[in-house]
Amino acid sequence: MTRSRRLLIALLCTCCPLFAQSAVASAHPLVGLGDNKTQLFSDPRFLALGITQVRYDMPWDALTATTYSGNYESTRLQQWLTMAQQDGLTPLITFDHSSLSGHAGKLPTVKQYSAAFVKFHELYPWVTEFVTWDESNFHGEPTWNHPTLVAQYYKALRKDCPSCTILAAELLDVPRSNGGVPIKQYTHAMIHYLHSQPGYWGINNYVGANTLSTTTTKQLLHAVTGKIWFTETAGLVSRHNSSHVHFTQNATHAATVDKFILTKLAGLSPRIQRVYLYEWNAMTSYDSWDSALISWTGVPRPAYDVLANTLDSWGIKPNCALSNVPPACAASGATGASGPSGSS
């Protein structure tokens, strides 16, 4: 898609009151899409939905480490942010462990972390929403037993960008038996150090969502007083990794889960302000993790219809001039780009 085409779409998204998510009633959360891939930016089936929020998970040292081969991480970040800006989308940036070989388990000092953020903010001053650290309480992250250090990172971000929206941490709802520090324990340790309640928190509530349970989301609601964003969540289609957390995995159940997330979980409290579904599209049938709305063959899955229909029910009408794939467009016989076809 050309830049002029993206700019036209961005104009449509921001100017049409029935199309932009700003038209959502306050009773409903703002819905975003998380995906580090760039395919969504040129896909009319995504752009037609009127989603204005996107999320990117980046290594904390993507812009400061000099040993990334060919500056891969910084180049990928620049491409993603450029396309998001051209489409008129608002990014949420989550900082994560280094992806350099042998560095994933090493935590930066507060000074190093702050310097990396300042570098980012100098390059992309228009980005103003950040998460201090991805899945901070999970044993797969070096932060799992360092809640005080994460609190220090949070303080540094607040100092470096007072006007930015900063999520104090992003919690994973995996149980202790599968490598998670309990949400209450981790958040209370951060709050104890900060001597105050942060205004925003994130949760990746995959376990609760995929078991159709409200328990883990309520745990965070009870542990903190700030606003909560579902920074990464979705129904799982398939996975090929070492996780020992078991739940149903198929496209039909994933659609049920996504509906549960958007209606039941997001409706637990007015403090739940946003829901970022992960991810837009699958790449192969053997992806290590697949919770995508679009199959690896390019076909919309039932979860896509759930998302489109939910937005439509909230008054966020799809732009059928961009794509006739959203159910509301297909039902009306609208014409527009349909996207790739094939089997799921």
Query: Domains along the chain?
Result: 3-332 (3.20.20.80)
Is the per-residue pLDDT at 74 higher than 60? yes
Is the per-residue pLDDT at 286 higher than 70? yes
Q: What is the 3-state secondary structure (H, E, C) of the chain?
A: CCHHHHHHHHHHHHHCCCCCHHHCCCCCCEEEEECCCCHHHHCHHHHCCCCCEEEEEEECCCCCCCCCHHHHHHHHHHHHHHHHHHCCCEEEEEEECCCCCCCCCCCCCHHHHHHHHHHHHHHCCCCCEEECCCCCCECCCCCCCCHHHHHHHHHHHHHHCCCCEEECCEEECCCHHHCECCHHHHHHHHHHHHCCCCCEEEEECHHHHHCCCCHHHHHHHHHCCCEEEEEEECCCCEECCCCCCCCCCCHHHHHHHHHHHHHHHCCCCCCEEEEEEECCECCCCCCCEECCCECCCCCECHHHHHHHHHHHHCCCCCCCCCECCCHHHHHHCCCCECCCCCCC
Is the per-residue pLDDT at 15 higher than 80? no
For residue 17, the model assigns a pLDDT of 36
pLDDT band (50, 70, 90) for residue 312:
very high
Q: Which of 25-34, 144-153, 332-341 has the least mean pLDDT? A: 332-341
Q: Which is nearest to 95 in space by CA: 119, 66, 69?
A: 119
pLDDT band (50, 70, 90) for residue 282:
very high
Q: Which of 5-19, 32-46, 134-148 has the least mean pLDDT? A: 5-19
Of residues 68 and 167, the one with the higher pLDDT is 167
Q: Which of 2-16, 117-131, 231-245, 257-271 has the least mean pLDDT? A: 2-16
Average pLDDT of span 257-280: 98
Of residues 71 and 70, the one with the higher pLDDT is 71
pLDDT, the chain, mean: 90
Is the per-residue pLDDT at 149 higher than 90? yes
Of residues 233 and 340, the one with the higher pLDDT is 233
pTM: 0.91
Tell me the C-alpha distance between 245 and 207, whole Å: 8
Average pLDDT of span 309-313: 98
For residue 160, the model assigns a pLDDT of 98
For residue 214, the model assigns a pLDDT of 98
pLDDT in tens, 202-219: 999 999 999 999 999 999
